[in-house]
Amino acid sequence: MSTPLRPAASLPTHLAQLGAYLRARRDITQPEDVGLERFPGRRVSGLRRDEVATLAGISTEYYLRLEQGRGARPSDQVLAALARVFRLDGGARAYLLRLASGMPPTPPVEPGPAGDQIARVLAQWTHTPAYMSDPHRDIVAANPLATVFGGGGLGAGHNQIASLFSPQNKAAIVEWEDMARAAVATLRRDAHPSSPRLAQLVADLSADPDFARMWARHDVSELEDARFHIQIPGVGTLEIEAQNFGVGSLPGYQLTVLSGAPGSLAASVFAKLASSISTSAATPSPSA
């Protein structure tokens, strides 16, 4: 007989979060992923609890307690075994350890002088779009090319993920599903779990069923570069490379630079936009 759950209010928050993470990982890990045969009539979407427990070398009852958020912090050996079962990468393993320890990421800090310096650098970065976002992926600094290329959605004061989930970007970005999953995964990795801004952002974006589906996966990712294609009516399909850099002086902040290969359509578009921005800035305003 299953052990009854303790009242939710009495569960340590970090252990409840650990349990939710384990359930989400179990739901999306398939038998074939871990070398198990899928028999006809299987009724669970991912792995069964007993399968996870066997693969991790622990009892089913103990694993059940972990998913329920009960008991003491699991040992590093148990966490390492579960990470192997769920095939977690470096970023996801670090997140698992963080949940188990109850140590959340560093609370967001104001960019301060470091952010001002980066903003000044970005203002002089004229050839490709570039912007810096905070742990909630709110854009705190962007160069003019990023603002123009993103149709305003990549300008300072906007949110990178909200922009990504706009109908326009869903239709234009060929690899939108993969890009959106990765962006949601960095949000879960970097944002403080008790942040009011995170709660507001998740509540607002959850009106979109695609975001709600991706957030429920509990994915966590490391900083990753990407190559994607965006279709622009009247122009063509641009192949764009995105490089993401952590900002050492600002934990959780991320600098994103977009570029196109030399001679590519994307590089040509960026060059034309940069030229038009430069020309506009150099043209004096008419006298009143």
Mean of the pLDDT values across residues 176-186?
93
Domain boundary among 56, 82, 101: 101
Read off the pTM: 0.81
Q: What share of the chain is helix, strand, coil (3-state, %, to 5)?
A: 50, 10, 40
pLDDT at residue number 185:
93
- In which band, very low, low, confident or very high, does the pLDDT at 108 lie, cut at 50, 70 and 90? low
Tens-place pLDDT, residues 109-128: 666 666 677 778 887 888 89
pLDDT at residue number 44:
86
Please check whether residue 106 lies inside any domain of the structure: no
pLDDT of 136 strictly over 50 = yes
- In which band, very low, low, confident or very high, does the pLDDT at 43 lie, cut at 50, 70 and 90? confident
Domain count, the chain: 2
Q: Which domain holds residue 68?
A: 8-101
Please check whether residue 3 lies inside any domain of the structure: no
Q: Which long-range contacts (CB under 8 A, 24 or more apart) does 16-19 make?
A: 16/69, 17/69, 17/99, 17/193, 18/66, 18/69, 18/96, 18/99, 18/100, 19/66, 19/67, 19/68, 19/69
**Can you give the CATH number for the domain in which 78 is found?**
1.10.260.40
pLDDT of 5 strictly over 80 = no
Mean of the pLDDT values across residues 223-229?
82
